[in-house]
């Protein structure tokens, strides 16, 4: 067996570790794996083109960017922050955990495009989270806002990633079924989805605890800041 094509995985690891642009990193990894597997350059380029054309539906989210830009220009983020400030009972943990639950349930139903980082996290969830942080901390720095945005994006990503595996018509589930079928193991998409359900539940619980601990850390920091101001 030829293990040299696996160097493409090393290219991805090194590229992501060095924080290079993901697109050229993935393309370079594909070129490395293809050339080491013995593919000729024309065949490799044809394979890359075919893969891009077959996955062009994944680029539909780009169409939402102009609409989101116009909404942000009209003050959507500021309205979301002010709205969050008026909701006294909605804490940061409740906001993120509630979004995580909705995101994961929608992904389980195959509705992965209903929410997302571009169309929901940036224009709505992150500004509302910043409004919740402002209710906790007396002074919110740029580093605090960046960390909150990272937590909000991670919450969205976890909800989709672990929720979509429960949807029986997902391409990954069918890929798993085909892989096992090639090795003589017959599995139905329903059985694969049911086995993914405990993982999705565990991911929800773990991320919920992480969000709650994040809020507790902000609250302890706010208490120290008020104590220092009082002293």
DSSP letters spanning 102-146: HHHHHHHTT-TTSS-IIIIIIIIIHHHHHHHHHHH-SS--HHHHH
Q: What percent of the chain has pLDDT over 90?
A: 28
Phi-psi region of 193 (alpha: psi -120 to 50; beta: other; left: phi over 0): alpha
Q: What percent of the chain has pLDDT over 70?
A: 85
Per-residue pLDDT of 111-146, as tens digits, reads 887 888 878 888 888 888 888 888 888 888 999 999
Q: What is the pLDDT of residue 110?
A: 85
CA separation for the pair 148, 145 (Å, rounded): 5
Q: What is the pLDDT of residue 152?
A: 94
Rounded to 10 degrees, what is the CA torsion of 182, 184, 190, 196?
A: -80
Q: Write down the mean pLDDT value for the chain.
A: 84
Q: What is the pLDDT of residue 106?
A: 92
CA separation for the pair 77, 81 (Å, rounded): 6
Q: What is the pLDDT of residue 147?
A: 94
Q: Has this prediction a pTM greater than 0.85? A: no
Per-residue pLDDT of 159-199, as tens digits, reads 999 998 888 777 777 777 887 888 788 888 888 888 889 99
Q: Residue 183: CB partners within 8 Å, gap ≥ 6?
A: none
* Residue 18 predicted with pLDDT over 60: yes
Q: What is the pLDDT of residue 102?
A: 93
* Residue 225 predicted with pLDDT over 90: no
Structure tokens at 96: 């993120």
* Residue 63 predicted with pLDDT over 80: no
DSSP 231: -
């Amino acid at each position: 067996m030829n293990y040299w094509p696996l160097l493409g995985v090393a290219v991805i690891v090194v590229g992501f570790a060095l924080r290079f642009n993901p697109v050229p990193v993935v393309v370079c990894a594909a070129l490395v794996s293809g050339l080491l597997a013995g593919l000729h350059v024309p065949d490799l380029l044809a394979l890359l083109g075919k893969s891009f054309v077959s996955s062009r539906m994944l680029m539909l989210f780009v169409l939402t960017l102009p609409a989101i830009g116009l909404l942000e220009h009209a003050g959507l983020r500021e309205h979301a922050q002010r709205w969050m400030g008026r909701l006294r009972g909605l804490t940061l943990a409740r906001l993120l955990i509630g979004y995580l639950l909705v995101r994961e349930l929608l992904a389980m139903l195959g509705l992965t495009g209903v929410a997302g980082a571009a169309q929901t996290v940036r224009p709505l969830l992150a500004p509302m989270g910043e409004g919740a942080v402002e209710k906790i901390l007396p002074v919110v720095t740029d580093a605090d806002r960046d960390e909150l945005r990272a937590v909000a994006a991670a919450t969205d990503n976890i909800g989709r990633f672990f929720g979509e595996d429960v949807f029986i018509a997902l391409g990954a589930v069918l890929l798993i079924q085909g892989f096992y079928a090639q090795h003589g193991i017959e599995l139905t998409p329903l059985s694969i989805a049911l086995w993914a359900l405990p993982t999705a539940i565990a991911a929800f619980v773990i991320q919920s605890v992480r969000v709650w601990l994040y809020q507790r850390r902000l609250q302890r920091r706010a208490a120290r800041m008020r104590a220092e101001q009082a002293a």
